[in-house]
């Protein structure tokens, strides 16, 4: 994918998010105070992770139908990008938790679920590394990938809503949109979600191209 309009849009969106996220006015609420600005970075990271891993799962389905090695490469690299977003989401969440809940890790159900979800996907890469045969690796990891994504959705979205949680929108707590995500914040939040997702696609497309070049150099089909 050569330089195109959507890459320029990605750069402009993220520049806007960084500048506006740090300088624009935000609601001044008890406990949250200025840390609410982390909403522009922490939550879009999770959106990016969920989107990258969804695309990875779609490519796994396509691979099981087509058996094309290039499709398996795409599934693997989108999973890689998803994991990076997940780790960044976990780190930004821990920093936010320190200033609002008093500790980096409070064993909140959503924190625990996020950690378990990341471990599931780290096991995906361990599984890939355990096979020497390319086709067997691709088939088994594709099937496992299709198990991981629904499990991740259950862990991050469904289970936390069924139990007490410090996170907004979980365990009976109101979501951000219902009490403090006003129009000023939406102006930055939605571009942040779109910008980080596009950045993930951009990075992944570069990694796929690198993998293909390496495969050609070493004569891997």
| Number of residues assigned to the chain | 221
C-alpha–C-alpha distance, residues 20 and 146, integer Å: 38
Q: Is residue 70 part of a domain?
A: yes
Residue 42 token pair? 């922490």
Q: Please check the confidence at residue 51 and state whether its pLDDT lies above 50.
A: yes
Query: 123: how many CB neighbours lie within 10 A of its CB?
Result: 12
C-alpha–C-alpha distance, residues 2 and 147, integer Å: 33
C-alpha–C-alpha distance, residues 181 and 40, integer Å: 11
pLDDT at 120: 93
Instruction: Indicate the range of 46-55, 57-66, 183-192 predicted with least confidence.
Output: 183-192
- Domain tally, the chain: 1
pLDDT at 179: 46
Express each pLDDT in 129-146 by its tens digit: 999 888 999 999 999 999
Q: Is residue 171 part of a domain?
A: no
**Average pLDDT, integer, range 195-212:** 94
111 by Cβ neighbours in 10 Å (0-12 / 13-18 / 19+) ranks as buried
Domain range for 208: 5-163+184-217
Express each pLDDT in 145-173 by its tens digit: 999 999 999 988 887 777 766 666 554 54
Q: Is residue 173 part of a domain?
A: no
Q: Is residue 147 part of a domain?
A: yes
**pTM as predicted:** 0.87
C-alpha–C-alpha distance, residues 63 and 57, integer Å: 10
Q: Is residue 168 part of a domain?
A: no
The CATH number that applies at residue 87 is 1.20.120
What separation in angstroms does the CA of 124 have from each of 46, 112, 115, 146?
A: 19, 19, 14, 11
Q: Is residue 96 part of a domain?
A: yes
Contacts of 117 (CB under 8 A, 6+ apart): 86, 151, 152, 155, 156
Q: Is residue 23 part of a domain?
A: yes
Determine contact, residues 171/109, Cβ cutoff 8 Å: yes
pLDDT at 138: 94
Phi, psi (rounded to 5 degrees) for 37:
-65, -25
C-alpha–C-alpha distance, residues 204 and 210, integer Å: 10
Q: Is residue 52 part of a domain?
A: yes
Express each pLDDT in 77-133 by its tens digit: 999 999 999 999 999 999 988 888 888 888 888 888 899 999 999 999 999 999 988
What separation in angstroms does the CA of 6 have from each of 43, 125, 153, 187?
A: 22, 30, 28, 19
Please tell me which residue, 107 or 76, carries the higher pLDDT value. Answer: 76
């Amino acid at each position: 994918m050569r330089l195109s309009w959507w890459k320029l849009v990605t750069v402009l969106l993220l520049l806007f998010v960084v500048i506006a996220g740090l300088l624009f006015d935000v609601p001044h609420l008890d406990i949250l105070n200025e840390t609410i600005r982390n909403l522009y970075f922490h939550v879009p990271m999770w959106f990016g992770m969920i989107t990258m891993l969804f695309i990875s799962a779609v490519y796994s389905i396509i691979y099981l139908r087509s058996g094309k090695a290039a499709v398996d490469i795409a599934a693997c690299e989108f999973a890689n990008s998803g994991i990076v977003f997940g780790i960044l989401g976990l780190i930004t969440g821990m920093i936010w938790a320190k200033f609002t809940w008093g500790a980096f890790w409070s064993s909140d159900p959503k924190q625990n679920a996020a950690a378990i979800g990341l471990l599931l996907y780290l096991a995906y890469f361990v599984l890939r590394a355990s096979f020497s045969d390319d086709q067997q690796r691709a088939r088994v990891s594709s099937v496992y990938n299709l198990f991981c994504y629904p499990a991740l959705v259950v862990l991050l979205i469904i289970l936390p809503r069924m139990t007490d949680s410090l996170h907004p929108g979980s365990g009976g707590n109101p979501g951000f949109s219902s009490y403090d995500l006003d129009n000023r914040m939406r102006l930055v939040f939605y571009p942040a979600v779109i910008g980080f997702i596009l950045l993930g696609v951009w990075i992944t497309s570069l990694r796929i191209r690198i993998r293909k070049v390496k495969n050609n150099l070493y004569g891997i089909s």
